[in-house]
Amino acid sequence: MCIRDSAYTDVLLRKQLSGGGDPQDVERLRRIGESAGRMLRFTRDLITYARPSRETHVAVSLHAVVDQALAFCEHVLDEAHARVDRSFAQDAALVRGMPEQLAQVFVNLVTNACHAMPPEDGVLWVRTRVNDADRTVEVSVEDNGAGIAPEHMSHVFTPFFTTKGDGKGTGLGLSIVKNILDNHGADIRTEPRSGGGTRFVIMFPRVDG
């Protein structure tokens, strides 16, 4: 229903704009479209959170997954005027997992970071490190955004918890991240970034290539 409503609203809005429609009608259609979009995003997030994946675990290159996620988020990064600074380990960062779900993890983290960034000079840092001693692969995603208040740090992965304004977040993005990583035997933590912003660190069990 949300998809159909959103599509109908887009068509009507385009007709109004091309035909020099009443400004009040145009504004009403914009608001209807925004509401339909919010419902659609919430429905998709809820399904992602609740529905088990049918993917199977395979050997996955985290570098390829991160690159794919950044490509998916290109429009979000452009809207935030954000620059991406990536630094990948020279060794193959191979883990065992479900590629589509892992891409969703980084799409959510990147999107979340973009929403918190300053309007003109946002920076996203993505780093990988292979730890031979404990057989892990570490991925960090950092931003120079507003950061997370200390009293909210322990709640960021709680379903439906959000500090965004009404209609700007479902409160499921980071819960989905945590749920997927739990199913991959990976750990995630969040911490303030030195200089301002937020840092997410993920530790995956490493597999041999």
Residue 1 has pLDDT above 50, yes or no: no
At residue 95, what are phi and psi to the nearest 5 degrees? Answer: -135, 170
Residue 6 has pLDDT above 60, yes or no: no
User: Cβ contacts of residue 173 below 8 Å, gap of 6+?
Assistant: 45, 108, 111, 112
Q: What is the pTM of this model?
A: 0.74
3-state secondary structure of 81: coil
pLDDT at 159: 80
Residue 4 has pLDDT above 90, yes or no: no
Residue 22 has pLDDT above 70, yes or no: no
Residue 87 has pLDDT above 60, yes or no: yes
End-to-end CA distance of the chain: 45
Bigger pLDDT: 52 vs 203: 203
Share of the chain above pLDDT 70, in %: 70
pLDDT at 162: 77
User: Cβ contacts of residue 209 below 8 Å, gap of 6+?
Assistant: 59, 92, 94
DSSP type of residue 52? P
How far apart, in whole angstroms, are the C-alpha atoms of residue 74 and residue 57? 27
The pLDDT tens digits for 137-146 are: 999 999 999 8
How far apart, in whole angstroms, are the C-alpha atoms of residue 57 and residue 96? 6
Bigger pLDDT: 35 vs 24: 24
